[in-house]
Structure 1
């Protein structure tokens, strides 16, 4: 029979965290398992890559704030637990594979309490998913079950098949058991699981059947029919439009721009391939030949972070020397092409030294030196047309990644992976057709648009929260002022003071926040408080108090009910108030030993408890700080600042300016609040070098403007 072994792939062993050794399986089944695990892992990665967008769209469509918060919290929880869910899914899959014939992966699902409505709804969703898979790929699954039975030489049916759709759903639910989301989000994740994992399960079954059949397991079975051809993206119309918009070939404006820089770029010509350029008799190579040399070098560009010395001028010189030896004629680069090489080199030198960009982004963009140079040689419009796809792609990538975190976590996010993929695609696929830049630009714009919309929504939520906090602080100050005007320095019954400070202050806060300071609700709440204090003072006309008491009691009851004060506490207060009213009319004396009715002196200011407002404290200005304060005051919403501390520098964006308590609120690239300070505090940090303002202007435009200014300054008499 087939040979057995204990071969365990290294990656699988690492993923399982060195669990106990698995029972022996035939080597053939280990191959089936590992091939299936690879496809399942890829499907899970696609699921999580798209889960953010799906949940964000649902939050965007939600009309209730509660639903929006539900989906946003689900997005956050999913990001944090993504790796553990993937690992748990594969752990359960490996465990089920090792126990084939002894373990039923569906037992747990069958034992779930279907009397629970949420469990029942989830079971119905899984049954529908399984039914759709079986209707499409049931034949392939049956053949796989028969072949596994043949290899294992023991009783084996579809329910015990670890690759069955019901079993795969069970692994996924088990792995996500600790995910802190509700039923609605879990059903969404199940839909994504069906779309990105179960949708291509026919490919997994076909590969496993082919492997088993080749090893002699029922090779006579006719393969299941192919469900669909491989999906291919057809971009002919888009590429044609991109070529038309790219405008291949230098137009009048581009040629005129380069001619205007000939004298300024002349000193740089001798710095590129000096050993071949210095020979007067050397024959210039054509631009087409130069492009072929650059295409050759393009495939040897070192990866980001590698220390390999790769200087473009030296590499071109070596290639030109080889061409000269082979052809028997000394060759050099034409002056017009040298000027383009020099100008592009100066642009990338500026980008490499531009500390406004994160270091990881600079490293990636520097790898595009040769592709951008090839486009510039083909099309001088790159320098004269702001809408050129190359310029726009570089600008868009730099703008989207401006707030990259420098830590390792920042390098693993979807944006970094997308930019890295674009760079690698250009290095491997770009020849001489600039339409590839237009195609990648369109894809990146679609990606960045969704991410920008998601970030803007989170920024708006941060702004709303900060504005609400500022209004709460302002309302608290107004309520404190109203209470202190009426209570400070007076001796009043303790029960009245406690009720006004602890309960009626909430009525005042709600009236101010809901209706404003000039509203009738605020004025009525103040008038009720004044009436209460006047009613407990000794009365010269008791009959007037008796006429006012019913309206006062109704206003007090309505106000306390609006803040949901406990009924027992309300009854106790009104009992004490009745005794105070009787005393005010001279009808009775207060009972002896009643601490609540005893008078206390309100000597200190009333201070209400609320969220911390330490960020709003004023910071004194120092000499020489006025210039930094003017810079801070001119900051616009969306400006980027880098805060320096003992750890990694923190890049954050100004998302809110709260004038009422002089607070500046900053968020990271994803829109989450990370810092707040006063204008004076930020000015002081700028003066001390603990913060710096970043220039987030368009990258290519900044680089070109700086290079041109330097060239003009050098050529000026």
Structure 2
């Protein structure tokens, strides 16, 4: 539970920067400290399961046993590790706005073995987390820059909540002396998963806290105020501090070294805006006929009124509806549409947002009310396109994540399914919250994302548990099918040599076949044990051939040599001691007598043992097909607008077979990739992109624009 809640704005603004940062430190501790214990418990449960699941007769891996022992010790000393973590985090906050001393070392300083190990395993994790939360962290960075000016700090302040500091705090809590490098890396990966689920809410809270404390976003329009706060020009800055106008700083001179409307750190956005500019140039005559362009404040006011009216005129595309809606609102304000046009930046935003929303609407099965809500949301996204130059980047800011989540909830709603209707209602509420929020309030997007995630969490966990049981059963069944198929092939190949003694043919068809299946399942077809069982079958055929040629003592010698292996084979087949001795006695008797030989057909599989997939299915073809990945969504269209959502929950590592489950995790189909592709071609299934609706739409636009 959070230890503090933002109070009234006036009281927050009266706080000193030190008090504000101390409040953030306490909240961060309250939210993240419990993750240390969760990390140990989760990893210990995984290792314990791995040891419990070890193959019968084979010991668990020594490394797993050693790590499990180390985890037991770490768990017993958890309080000590939590104190270390709190101390490390406190040092980061105490040094703010400077980075902590560990990050201010000389370029010529030597790293200890522990520091080097921490850097090797920690840096990739920190970079991955920073990429995932880049947009939210950037907002906090910019607010902290404003806060730093209050203490006369002239450089770019560090962000104590950045992933590099949080990862370092974790590694200092569990130093190299406490556990081996392998276990330390495993714990860090487990901690990364927990941080991934916690940082979004923490960043959203921190952003709200800073905003209510009066820390505005440092941006292009803030340079005069910031310079005044620093008490002079940038030329007076100490050489060891970051210059305020340096490229990449939270505050950067507008247009410095970058073309108007473009930014060096927004490559895909630049490509898309140039593409929109070419489309705008095609309408140059229409634009030149206007006497003037909308002023920025005039355009934003009109956009805000259009959002509040919750109504858009009809039109073929979203861009047309947006333009007509803006002109209609402007007319109510006394602005003649013949005399005014949208300027380049405004028109580019309308073109790009309209194109993205057109693609989303065309590629998803949405009900009419959902389509109308989607169109209304386009008004909000036009404002975002004007304010956020990185809106269209692959980093996917919270606004784009929320849009993808809404489309996913609206897509393929089944009116007969209560859970589907519930998800549609959840999406409607989130969309209404966005439409009701004022322009420029970025808090609504992570807040609604968190609400959607919390509302779906229970159903998602239940569905994941059901589908996990389903695919684990299928995986076991498929392995058994593969073992049986391989054993049938080996038996058939040996029975095809011609007439055999009945006892030899029967032994190969029953006991030897079962031993092959067991060896394949337990050890794999490349194992020594599997090759030993194969050799036993060949040796039995050789003894039969010797007996047919009156081999005499050679037959007895061969049988005596393989007798222990034959006895072990019977035991693996499930025969008791009496049945085993009777089976072996029959083998010996037939070898010693003139028992007639005859051809033998392999026993066909029982009906109850029918394979999961047809015997003629080509496993290699399924494995080579990489068009489908686990987690991919599908929509199955139904009659009268009904639909059903499906998910690819599992792909077989043996055959490439795909398990499709419904929203509850229940099995619907098990298909080879070729069959799944055929259903898609026939329109029976509609695939959805793994990256989300917005990501796919932006990738399509970038390809059309020539940007890949």
TM-score norm. by structure 1 comes to 0.48
Q: What TM-score comes out, normalization by structure 2 length?
A: 0.49
Greater Cα radius of gyration, structure 1 or 2: 1
